[in-house]
C-alpha cells in the first residue's frame, strides 16, 4: 500500500478532512478533462479490512478491469468522492491547464463535506482557490488519496469516451480514448475532426485545414 505520510501529517496538524485530487485527459486530442476528488477523514484506514486497500496506486499502473473494481471500492467504502468535468469547448476557450483547474474546482465543489486541505498531483496549485493545498510532483505515484483520485478520474473519463465512440464510431475512441495514437491520427487525417475534438490542439486544427 502507498504510504499515508502526507495524510497523517495533516491529520496530526488538526485538519479533519483531507482530499486528494487528480485529473485524467489533459493530453488527448478529443473529449473532456475529468477531475476526481477523494475526501478522507481521520481513522479511515482503521475501518477497512479489505484487500483492495493494498492495491490502490497510480491508475496508469493498473489494468482497465482492476481500475473499474477499485473505483467501485473507493466510491462505496473509502470516502466521499467528487467528480468534475470540463468539455472540449471549455478547453478550447480557456486552455487545457485552466480547464483542468476548473474541473478540479468542480470536483471539490460537489462534495457534501468540504475538505480542510487538498493534496494534488503535479507542480502547480489550483489557481484562484480558497482551500489550503499542496501540489506534489508524482503525487499519483506517492500519495494514497491522490492515487485513489487518479483511479476515479481515469475510470470516469474512459466511460465518457466509450459513450463518445458510440456517437462517433469512425475515430476508434473505444481504443485510444482520444489520445494521439497512430490509429487516431490516421482516422483524424481520413475523416477530419468531429464535434468533440479540441480545435485549440494543433493536430486537430491541422486536420481541419488539410
Domain ranges within the chain, ordered by starting residue: 5-167
d(CA 199, CA 15): 42
Q: What is the predicted pLDDT for the residue at 2?
A: 81
Using CA atoms, how far residue 165 sits from 29, 56, 122, 139, in Å, is: 14, 28, 30, 31
What count of Cα atoms within 13 Å lies in the side-chain half-sphere of residue 136? 21
Task: Name the stretches of the chain with pLDDT < 70.
Answer: 1, 47, 209-210
Q: What is the predicted pLDDT for the residue at 11?
A: 94
Q: What is the predicted pLDDT for the residue at 143?
A: 95
The set of cell numbers assigned to 69 is 473494481
- State the DSSP H helix or E strand holding residue 205, giving kind and residue range, or none if neither: helix 202-209
CA-nearest of 146, 98, 147, 153 to 118 is 146
Q: What is the pTM of this model?
A: 0.94
- CA dihedral sign, ordered 101, 102, 107, 108: positive
Q: What is the predicted pLDDT for the residue at 47?
A: 66
CB 178 within 8 A of CB 29: yes
Q: What is the predicted pLDDT for the residue at 21?
A: 97
Q: What is the predicted pLDDT for the residue at 3?
A: 78
Is CATH 3.30.930.10 the classification given to domain 5-167? no
Q: What is the predicted pLDDT for the residue at 210?
A: 55
Amino acid at each position: 500500500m502507498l504510504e499515508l505520510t502526507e495524510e497523517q501529517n495533516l491529520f496530526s496538524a488538526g485538519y479533519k478532512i483531507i482530499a486528494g485530487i487528480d485529473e485524467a485527459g489533459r493530453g488527448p486530442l478529443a473529449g473532456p478533462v475529468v477531475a476526481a476528488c477523494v475526501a478522507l477523514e481521520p481513522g479511515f484506514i482503521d475501518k477497512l479490512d479489505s484487500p483492495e486497500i493494498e492495491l490502490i496506486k497510480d491508475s496508469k499502473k493498473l489494468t482497465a478491469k482492476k481500475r473499474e473494481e477499485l473505483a467501485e471500492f473507493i466510491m462505496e467504502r473509502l470516502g466521499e468522492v467528487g467528480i468534475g468535468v470540463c468539455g472540449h469547448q471549455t478547453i478550447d476557450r480557456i486552455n487545457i491547464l485552466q480547464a483542468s483547474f476548473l474541473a478540479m474546482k468542480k470536483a471539490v465543489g460537489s462534495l457534501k463535506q468540504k475538505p480542510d486541505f487538498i493534496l494534488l498531483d503535479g507542480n502547480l496549485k489550483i489557481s484562484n482557490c480558497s482551500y489550503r493545498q499542496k501540489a506534489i510532483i508524482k503525487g499519483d505515484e506517492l500519495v494514497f488519496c491522490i492515487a485513489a483520485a487518479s483511479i476515479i478520474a481515469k475510470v470516469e473519463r474512459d466511460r465518457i469516451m466509450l459513450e463518445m465512440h458510440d456517437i462517433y464510431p469512425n475515430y476508434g475512441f473505444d481504443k485510444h480514448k482520444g489520445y494521439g495514437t497512430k490509429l487516431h491520427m490516421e482516422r483524424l487525417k481520413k475523416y477530419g475532426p468531429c464535434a468533440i475534438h479540441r480545435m485549440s490542439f494543433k493536430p486537430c486544427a491541422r486536420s481541419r485545414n488539410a
